[in-house]
Amino acid sequence: MAIKIGDPIPEVVLKRIREGVENVDTPTLFEARKVVLFAVPGAFTPTCSEKHLPGFIKRFDDFRARGVDVICMAVNDPFVMQAWGRTLDAPDGLQLVSDGNADLTRALGMEMDASGYGMGIRAKRFALYAENGVVRQLFVEAPGEFKVSSADYVLEHLPA
């Protein structure tokens, strides 16, 4: 069942790279803060690399000015996420986290089968806004679309 507004973020361990590969759990990422998490089907894929992550990079300071942290997640390994962030010059504060086994993706009910493209289970394209670990807004794209999870759209729809 897909997560909905008012639900807590499931407790899952993800991976990220800072000084090395590290585990980071969702309570650490979400508790006591405002967070936009956006998920992409895959790092280095066309829409994700040309529009989705670049939009959040461009608007990163606007999110931070509103006190909102930004996290990008994909069902890729942490080394791919790090390389992708470097390739696109993601700012240090924009976290790129790896959900390599799709644990959070499945816990959120946001998985899709991309086996037809040779990609296996991936995250649907979506964004969510959470306060203190609770989902306050959810923006899930229709298959093949890129509208409601864009940085501009999410920023416009954040609470004042």
Residue 48 annotated as catalytic: yes
How many residues would you count in the chain? 160
User: Is there a contact between 15 and 98 (Cβ–Cβ < 8 Å)?
Assistant: yes
* Cα torsion angle, 38, 54, 52, 160, sign: positive
How far apart are the C-alpha atoms of 45 and 7, rounded to whole Å? 30
* Alpha-carbon gap, residue 131 to 9, rounded angstroms: 10
Q: How many CB atoms lie within 10 A of CB 9?
A: 22
Question: Which residue among the candidates 36, 48, 73, 128 is catalytic per the annotation?
Answer: 48
- Residues marked active site are found at 48
